[in-house]
Structure 1
Amino acid sequence: MSGQVLPCSPEEIGSLFLFEKLSAEQLGQLCSAGRVERFEPGPVFTEGDPATCFYVLIEGTVVLSRRVGGDDIEVSRTSQRGVYAGAVQAYLGERVPQIYSNSMRVTDTSRFFVVPAEQFAGFMEEWFPMAVHLLEGLFFGSKSAQRAIGQRERLLALGSLSAGLTHELNNPAAAAVRATETLRERVGKMRHKLGIIAQGSYTPETMANLIDIQERTAERVAKAPTLSPLEASDREDELADWLDDHGIQEGWRIAPSFVQAGLDVDWLDQVAAALDEDMLPNAIGWLNYTVETELLMDEINDSTARISHLVDAAKQYSQLDRAPYQVADVHDLLDSTLLMLSGKIGQQIKVVKAYDRTVPKVPCYPAELNQVWTNLIDNAVHAINSVGGEGTLTVRTRLDHDRLLVEFGDTGPGIPADIRGRIFDPFFTTKPVGEGTGLGLDISWRIVVNKHHGTLQVESSPGDTRFQVLLPLTAAGNDTNEESV
């Protein structure tokens, strides 16, 4: 938008703090290169357009805003004389995209000193060579440091996740190894017991009955009910008494396995009725080995299934075998992240999943959303640990008008009001030195806002802090061209 061009007064331009140290000759050159423009209320320039001019406010009121999703978010409003906006990075030339990083409008009639970007860059190079070098170093150094520390944050998170995953995998793997060793021993004893039985003078019909009982016992193991501790204890006493009454030595050792397998006194009565009395002790011993081998195989199956589940969760979390951008069920992403972080969350923190499973899938970068979940869960765990380590982490999903809300609530101490506005700033952290980089929330904000056109906000009071991620349900037109984070 162009305003009305007015005469340029070197004296008035020299009264602006940016130019107050310039000589009369330099002020004359500025007036020759630039112009004074008057703008009526309305837009001056728009975010994303080529940055063609550098604007310095002489009088009036300006409002700077940024586009977030479908909304214009006001970031600054001022009437301070001498403030500037527009092509502020023109001195960097083609090394960075020369576009307006925000939109500017005026709310009342305002006057600006306006310099074309190319001339402004020339004045900077000619009049302030050392300042330009310092600004270049500051700009690129800050970008480099932010990338390096952001990468370190990712590596620290990866290290923490790897340690947690290793711990989670070790438990079922160790259980499977122990069960396999015990299974080998029980199978050996089963062969030995079968040899003893085979040496007896039993009829083929009796042996067939024994094999049939073994098969039906194995079937009962697969269908064993889950008993309460009190019910299991009572049944163990009943079985131990039955075994003692029938001359079975050390029945108290056998009873717990039989109870776990779902066997009861009625079943043992059927076994006793189907076999000769002299065969019963060896048959019970053989059935005990059968039960133990079935239980051990169930334990191995459960352990390997747990390992497979953890590996699947790791693949879901990393998204290594999936497209970077896709339509995904956010609950799958949340579950994989919670599983990956279960070791860090610990047993003292209760995790509540308040999911609305009816919400639709969303177009997103799943691996990067997982990084957001990781950062927000990590902050929640740190907050709860700061007040004793016991508390509740609530992960909630629901529709919020035309967006999907993902909320992480914790029962920590809350975020003080005086720092709430700074928590998304780069390098700002309340964690002790060495425990936080201050980039977790900044990275999360850029992933949510810049890459997904969503919103990341926080509501906090003592005992109730909620980080809320709002994601659009439809893809934006330039998803694949957003800046990397």
Structure 2
Amino acid sequence: MSVATDPIPCDIDELRTLFLFERLNDEQLQWLCEHGHTIHAETGQVYAEGDPATCFYVLLEGNIVLSRLIGGDEVEMTRTTQVGAYTGAWQAYMGERAPQTYNNSMRVVVPSRLLVLDAVDLAVIMRDWFPMAVHLLEGIFWGQQNMRQVTDQRERLLALGSLSAGLTHELNNPAAAAVRATSVLRDRVAGMRHKLGAIAAGPWDRMTMEQLMRLQEKAVEQVAKAPTLSPMEATDREDALGEWFDDHSIGGGWDLAPTFVQAGLAVDWLDEVEALVAPDVLEGAVRWINYSVETELLMNEIEDSVTRISTLVSSAKQYSQLDRAPFQVVDVHELLDATLLMLSAKIGKGIKVVKDYDRTLPEISAYASELNQVWTNTIDNAVQAMAGVGTLTIRTARDNDSMLVEIGDTGPGVPDEIKSRIFEPFFTTKPVGEGTGLGLDISWRIVVKKHHGDLKLVSVPGDTRFQIRLPLVSAELP
């Protein structure tokens, strides 16, 4: 601290003029002067944020600045010349129940005069002179702390419930498809066994069987090469195949046609089958190949469904980070993709998702699961703002020495009168019971306090963007 002179006694008459002490009696003012003292401070820092809070300061004359560290930068919170303004160890009355460190930094910008009271003495007068006020302050302090802790936990549980519902919905579709395909496959395999028995008992010579087996292999190979057709193209091919089956007296040909089209087998392929086998065994050959193709398609469907389930489980693990260290090197794009997948059911089909990623950005050191919560909260806000219809844009880019993650929506925007309040704890525009008002507060604390980054809102009607900046340099472990 830059003090020009030794501490000097204070003046009772001067203390009486300060709003902080105007209701004290002469005996109390005398006590203050006996236990406190005045200092003359030159320009410079008086105390630093995080240092042990040992003194309570009252401005008697001059100009002081109070600041806080945000994202590694010293941000000015208050600059005042107001006589009687106070700061310092104001939580001393709470003793060991609250952290006794300065929650801001103070510096003097012009030579100033300050009343200084030891934190221990402030605690004494608060408890002895204002017992009711102390009880009220304690109630407010701890009530806010408890409320934030409970609602913070509630916010996380609500997000988890929403994500669980979305994941359940996403898993149900491929699981149901795999069960259905397995059931149909069982029927088709049974049909193949019966058909094989009929072939064995029929007039099929060895050469015909070999030709049939070759056709079967070629058909299965063709399944993997099947082209993607438009609905109109698929319908035209089915009509052509149906007519071919009718011309060759193959019953139920219209039921066989969709399977052959899905496998990429057209009329010219059936002509090849007709040229290889005798007329009396053509229908049996076609049906045998149909069973082979259908079982291959069903196995592909089961494989796709199981792969989809595996991908979803992998994304859920990526999102939750359950099997990873809390602080780690991560690819932010993987975290964003995992979050979008987990929220896909909530986003719905009416919202178009646009990913504008700068893949040249490096990995960063971060608390991955907590960043996922930031993505969840901001994406959820964007989705709700659009009421199910619009465009959700996720963009990443380099911004000097930071990574910019921008989450934008085409909703109505945030009114100017509440823009300055959206990061306040417990502030919400949602109806009572639908929001805790902590989603953005939690996000701000994760980005700014844990990652030394920045979180801002830019909003006009039709274009609202949450801009999250994270340092590209590796963060240090706390």
TM-score interval w.r.t. the shorter chain? over 0.9
Partner of 1:201: 203
Equivalent residues of 2:316, 2:338 under 8 A apart: yes
Give how far 1:306 is off: 1.0
Give how far 1:63 is off: 2.2
Equivalent residues of 2:401, 2:473 under 8 A apart: no
Would you say 1:365 and 2:367 are equivalent positions? yes
Partner of 1:393: 392
With structure 2 as the length reference, what TM-score do the two structures score? 0.96
Give how far 1:232 is off: 1.7
Give the Cα separation in 2 of the matches to 1:440 and 1:114.
Answer: 40
SS in 1 for 2:466: strand
Would you say 1:451 and 2:450 are equivalent positions? yes
Distance 1:394 1:90, change over 3 A: same
SS in 2 for 1:468: strand
Partner of 1:135: 137
Partner of 1:298: 300
Give the Cα separation in 1 of the matches to 2:112 and 2:446.
Answer: 36
Give the Cα separation in 1 of the matches to 2:75 and 2:357.
Answer: 29
Following superposition of structure 1 onto structure 2, how do residues 289-438 of structure 1 map, counting pairs within 5 Å?
289-385=291-387, 389-438=388-437
Give how far 1:112 is off: 2.1
Summarize deviations over 1:143-166 as a string: whole Å, max 9, x none.
111000110111111111111111
Partner of 1:97: 99
Q: Which amino acid counterpart does residue 118 of structure 2 have in structure 1?
A: P
Partner of 1:225: 227
Give the Cα separation in 1 of the matches to 2:209 and 2:475.
Answer: 73
**Structure 1 stretch 117-126 or stretch 336-345: which is displaced more?**
117-126
SS in 2 for 1:81: coil
Q: Which amino acid counterpart does residue 467 of structure 1 have in structure 2?
A: F
Give the Cα separation in 1 of the matches to 2:430 and 2:61.
Answer: 43
Give the Cα separation in 1 of the matches to 2:409 and 2:61.
Answer: 47
Q: Which amino acid counterpart does residue 352 of structure 2 have in structure 1?
A: K
Give how far 1:21 is off: 1.2
Give the Cα separation in 2 of the matches to 1:245 and 1:313.
Answer: 52
Give the Cα separation in 2 of the matches to 1:232 and 1:41.
Answer: 83
Following superposition of structure 1 onto structure 2, how do residues 168-187 of structure 1 map, counting pairs within 5 Å?
168-187=170-189
Give the Cα separation in 1 of the matches to 2:40 and 2:281.
Answer: 110
SS in 2 for 1:142: helix
Give the Cα separation in 2 of the matches to 1:266 and 1:6.
Answer: 108
**Structure 1 stretch 417-426 or stretch 37-46: which is displaced more?**
37-46
Give the Cα separation in 2 of the matches to 1:404 and 1:203.
Answer: 71
Partner of 1:19: 21
Distance 1:79 1:98, change over 3 A: same
Equivalent residues of 1:13, 1:113 under 8 A apart: no
Give the Cα separation in 2 of the matches to 1:59 and 1:461.
Answer: 44
Note the aligned Cα RMSD (angstroms).
1.4
Equivalent residues of 2:350, 2:390 under 8 A apart: yes
Partner of 1:82: 84
Unpaired segments ≥5 residues, structure 2? none
Give the Cα separation in 2 of the matches to 1:76 and 1:267.
Answer: 83
Equivalent residues of 1:372, 1:444 under 8 A apart: yes
Equivalent residues of 2:67, 2:76 under 8 A apart: yes
Give how far 1:286 is off: 1.3
Give how far 1:6 is off: 4.8
Give how far 1:430 is off: 0.6
SS in 2 for 1:419: helix
Q: Which amino acid counterpart does residue 411 of structure 1 have in structure 2?
A: T
Partner of 1:44: 46
Following superposition of structure 1 onto structure 2, how do residues 115-130 of structure 1 map, counting pairs within 5 Å?
115-130=117-132
Give how far 1:106 is off: 3.0
Equivalent residues of 2:2, 2:44 under 8 A apart: no
Give how far 1:366 is off: 0.5
Give the Cα separation in 1 of the matches to 2:219 and 2:286.
Answer: 11
SS in 1 for 2:59: strand
Q: Which amino acid counterpart does residue 450 of structure 1 have in structure 2?
A: K
Equivalent residues of 2:378, 2:466 under 8 A apart: yes
Among candidates 278, 282, 299, match of residue 280 of structure 1: 282
Give how far 1:250 is off: 2.3
Give the Cα separation in 2 of the matches to 1:61 and 1:461.
Answer: 38
SS in 2 for 1:108: strand
Give the Cα separation in 1 of the matches to 2:309 and 2:142.
Answer: 45
Q: Which amino acid counterpart does residue 183 of structure 2 have in structure 1?
A: E
Summarize deviations over 1:316-375 as a string: whole Å, max 9, x none.
111100001101001111111111111111000111111111101111110111111110
Give the Cα separation in 1 of the matches to 2:48 and 2:344.
Answer: 46
SS in 1 for 2:417: coil
Give how far 1:251 is off: 1.8
Give the Cα separation in 2 of the matches to 1:236 and 1:394.
Answer: 41
Unpaired segments ≥5 residues, structure 1? 481-485
Give the Cα separation in 1 of the matches to 2:142 and 2:72.
Answer: 31
SS in 1 for 2:144: helix
Q: Which amino acid counterpart does residue 369 of structure 1 have in structure 2?
A: L
Partner of 1:3: 3
Summarize deviations over 1:412-440 as a string: whole Å, max 9, x none.
11111111111111100011111100011
**Structure 1 stretch 123-132 or stretch 303-312: which is displaced more?**
123-132
Give the Cα separation in 2 of the matches to 1:331 and 1:15.
Answer: 60
Give how far 1:7 is off: 4.4
